[in-house]
């Protein structure tokens, strides 16, 4: 678990902030999730890996309370089944219960890991579609974001998991989307000219200039490619594809991008944003292979569509909270993502 002070740091301005097609026909007309308000109850679930330390769960509940919300812990949170947080049916039941509970306004994943994809055939999609609520999380939760885009039809939010760190950028971007119902433009922070490290950390690079509009779809590259060929992916025609990953060697990123190209997904999107690939560099003086930027150029430049990389999305501090399934506009040169519609009612 991150240090508690790190988790809460980005929530310090909470009182001020709070004051201030694969989609079925029924899903295409789905209502938007309700906006969050101070005092709302939100569910905590573990669709993937387990957290069996009671102190860890208490720390997560404290984070939710610091957001001004009331945590409701899923029945099987803290359960362990191998490396999963309970059996597939137990984890699916927790998700179903949160969407069926009228008192729950949104659902946070406690953590990622692996296992969310195993739930997709077990979920009560009729109940989920009938009760739109923001699903918030990232990494392995990508499987749920994509399946919700395909089967539920309402936006979800790719953001830190509840058990992660919520510094200012992550919290503010979530607040604008989920509480305010705003349509902000997101970009990396301006780098300190006197800090070369910060300049590199916040730099975005255009692969191909221009603007593009479309439905924002994507998430973790490994999880997305594992769903290729299944009925759980949404329609990528005209979409803005965003990707991130962690701990994958360059040749694995090459292999996964090749799969997206060969499956036809890359040829159908209107624009691409690649966030961060954390710990994806083999390194060493003897390494003679492609770098990640070279691979991105290889796969995205020939598409002839606006594309950029370096957005603060993924397994990094200060990651942006982004609405999956919402209409956005990207501008590759400044590296911006403009939200075109509120994601909550």
Catalytic residues: 139, 244, 315
Q: Phi and psi (nearest 5°) for 28?
A: -65, -20
> Of the candidates 296, 328, 290, which has an alpha carbon nearest to the alpha carbon of residue 204?
296
DSSP tag of 25: H
CA angle 34, 171, 153 (to 5 degrees): 35
Backbone φ and ψ of 119, nearest 5° = -85, -20
- Residue 10's Cα: distance from chain center in Å? 18
Number of other residues whose CB lies within 10 A of the CB of residue 227 = 18
Do residues 266 and 303 make contact, with C-beta atoms less than 8 angstroms apart? yes
Place of tokens 């906006």: 35
3-state secondary structure of 32: coil
Q: Cβ contacts of residue 144 below 8 Å, gap of 6+?
A: 47, 95, 109, 116, 119, 120, 135, 137, 156
Please tell me the distance from the alpha carbon of residue 186 to that of residue 344, in angstroms, as a whole number: 18
**Residues in contact with 267: Cβ distance below 8 Å, sequence separation at least 6, in sequence order:** 261, 303
- The continuous run of DSSP H or E covering 123 comes out as none
Q: DSSP E strands: which ranges in 70-144?
A: 70-73, 104-109, 134-137
Which residue stretches of 71-151 are H helix?
88-100, 125-130, 142-151
């Amino acid at each position: 678990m991150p240090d508690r002070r790190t988790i809460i740091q980005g929530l310090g301005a909470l009182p001020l902030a709070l004051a201030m097609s694969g989609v079925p026909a029924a899903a295409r007309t789905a209502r938007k999730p309700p906006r969050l308000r101070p005092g709302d109850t939100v569910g905590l679930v573990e669709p993937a890996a387990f957290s069996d330390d009671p102190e860890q769960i208490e720390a997560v509940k404290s984070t939710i309370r610091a957001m001004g919300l009331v945590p409701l812990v899923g029945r099987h949170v803290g359960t362990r089944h191998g490396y999963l947080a309970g059996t597939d049916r137990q984890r699916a039941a927790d998700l179903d219960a949160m969407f069926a509970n009228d008192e729950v306004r949104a659902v946070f994943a406690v953590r990622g890991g692996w296992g969310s994809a195993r739930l997709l055939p077990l979920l009560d999609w009729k109940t989920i579609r009938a009760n739109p609520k923001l699903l918030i999380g990232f990494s392995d939760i990508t499987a749920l974001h994509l399946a919700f885009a395909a089967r539920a039809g309402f936006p979800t939010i790719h953001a830190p998991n509840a058990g992660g760190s919520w510094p200012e950028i992550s919290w503010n971007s979530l607040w604008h989307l989920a509480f305010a119902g705003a349509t902000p433009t997101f970009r990396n922070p301006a780098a300190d000219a006197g800090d070369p490290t910060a300049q590199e950390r916040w730099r975005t690079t255009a692969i191909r200039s221009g603007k593009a509009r479309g439905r924002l779809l994507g998430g973790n590259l490994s999880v997305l490619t594992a769903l290729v060929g299944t009925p759980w992916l949404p329609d990528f025609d005209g979409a803005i594809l965003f990707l991130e990953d962690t701990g994958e060697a360059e040749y694995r990123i090459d292999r996964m991008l090749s799969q997206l190209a060969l499956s036809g997904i890359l040829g159908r999107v209107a624009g691409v944003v690649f966030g961060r690939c954390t710990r994806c560099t083999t390194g060493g003086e003897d390494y003679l292979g492609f770098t990640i930027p070279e691979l991105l150029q290889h796969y995205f430049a020939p598409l002839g569509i606006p594309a950029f990389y370096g957005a603060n999305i993924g397994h990094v501090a200060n990651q942006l909270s982004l609405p999956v399934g919402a209409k956005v506009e990207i501008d590759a040169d400044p590296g911006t993502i403009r939200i075109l519609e509120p994601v909550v009612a």
